[in-house]
Structure 1
Amino acid sequence: MNDSIARAIAHAANRMSETATVEETLEVIVRSAAEALPHFDHVGIGTKDGEEPMQTRAASSDLVRQLDDIQNTVGQGPCLESLQGTEVIVAPHIHHEQRWPKYVPSAVAIGLQAQLAVRLHLDASGTMGGLNLYSTSRDQIAADDITTAALFATHAAVALGKAHEVESLSHAVATRQLIGQAIGILMHQYSLDEKSAQAFLWRASSTSNVKVRDIAERILAEANRAGAST
């Protein structure tokens, strides 16, 4: 790997580490990948939850979404394979490709010439997504591009994992604050001590099979409506 590519990846890693939310991180990953891998014309990130279709979470162009949609529709393609656990899928001269007979004709028809898909994962988190690189201007994929994409994906997975942790922590803090407000309202409305109000909230969640956070939101919303009407 030459020095310019190494500098590009280092710069990309710094940019990714400065983001706050998962969505911001995904957008920065796509933009940075486009800069670090200029031989690819279109870049996207897909994620998949269980049996649900792949979601295009960030894309450098509409063509990415079109190609991802084709793979979802026919149920095959490099992106889906990366999300199922294959580390790197290399598909140069894709018009000759035999691995995805339902995908290739439609993809070639809208301009695809080569494709590279790389799994984003951390050991503790499993597959987090797939980095999808599409070329519409050349049908070859250089060995250096494969190496660069794999290294870039490692940095991207670390940044994405950090963003998920921060977002989960922020969500947990917000949930605790919301529940605390709801307990305070119950204490005031029904002259309960904190322990009894908390037990009331947990029983309501258990008997109704509704999350505690959702019940707390309802209590807060009702209190706000009552306050607004007085």
Structure 2
Amino acid sequence: MTSDDDATLGSGAGEPKSDGDEDLRDALVALANLSTGHLGLEELLTKVATYAVRAIPGADGAGLTLLEHGRSATIVSTAPFVTEIDDIQYGLGQGPCISAAAEGQTKLSGSLGADQRWPQFGSKVARLGVHSVVSLPLITPGAVVGAMNVYAHAKHVFDNRAVELGELFAAPAAIAVENAQVLVQAQRLAAQLQAALGTRGVVDRAIGIMMSRTGATPDEALNKLRSLSQTEHVKLPVMAQRIVDAAVRRARALHKEEE
């Protein structure tokens, strides 16, 4: 377990609930039952963050950041105050979630306003009445796929036991997040390929129409199509679609005349 503890952690509020292990088990069961194929990415990430609040005693809210190519790509939260805090964090470019993701280590603070690791961030969020945080990197065998902030309003709410519970939750959470990310990327690629196939199809149809009209070769028809797209200041597929649509309209008009 890795953590950056405060110089002093309060007792009282930081003591884990007696049913902490049971809460963790419930959260892990809920996490295991998540279906990446039936939820949108943001909805799934929000559920993961919600289960983290359930798993860590004393938590008032949580936020989760998904990383793509080392940058934050999707940020979700379980409560409006978490969104406000994470907006401050990413606006400043400093904070426990950023540090946890960059270093691959859990960050713990019970008095953010006095924490010198993130002085600008800490002072701003303390004025909003949020003082405690556990930030957990979401680590898979391949990379850090994201990070999760678990917040509490009071000071010194989280102790080393909260860190331990959080890290036990973060390990399978990272796998769930990675699976969701892989699925979304696959869906995105499939959509791009489908769009590319559709684009190629309409260009080929336009070339065929131009060849039948003028007797041009495929290369000559393609060059003419490119010239038209440049003259009209539109993309090649758009110009091709115009030619196809015009040919369809002419064919329908002829058909009506023959009736």
Superposition TM-score tier, normalisation by shorter sequence: 0.7 to 0.9
Quick check: 74-83 or 95-104, which moved more? Answer: 95-104
Deviations along 1:54-106, one digit per CA (max 9) or x if unpaired, are 56611112211222232234332211101212320011233442322222222
Gaps of 5+ in 1: 209-214
> Is the radius of gyration larger for structure 1 or structure 2?
2
Quick one: structure 1 residues 70 and 183, their matched pair in 2 at CA, closer, same or farther if it must change by over 3 Å? closer
Gaps of 5+ in 2: 1-19, 210-217, 251-259
- 1:185 equivalent to 2:202? Answer yes
Deviations along 1:102-128, one digit per CA (max 9) or x if unpaired, are 22222111101211101113222x222
What is aligned with 2:93?
A: 75
What is aligned with 2:185?
A: 168
What is aligned with 2:124?
A: 106
Note the C-alpha offset of 1:228. 9.4
Q: Is the 8 A contact 1:179 1:216 kept in 2?
A: no
Q: 2:168, 2:33 → 1: CA distance?
A: 14
- Equivalenced residue count is 212
Of 78, 81, 89, which aligns to 1:60? 78
What is aligned with 1:37?
A: 56
Deviations along 1:118-165, one digit per CA (max 9) or x if unpaired, are 1113222x2222101111035231322211211221122111111121
Q: TM-score, normalised by structure 1?
A: 0.75
Identity of aligned residues (%): 20
Q: 2:197, 2:161 → 1: CA distance?
A: 54
| Aligned 1:1-230 pairs, distance under 5 A | 2-15=21-34, 17=36, 19-47=38-66, 57-124=75-142, 126-191=143-208, 218=238, 222=242
Q: Is the 8 A contact 1:46 1:57 kept in 2?
A: yes
Q: 2:159, 2:144 → 1: CA distance?
A: 25
Q: TM-score, normalised by structure 2?
A: 0.68
Partner SS for 1:139: coil
Partner SS for 2:107: strand
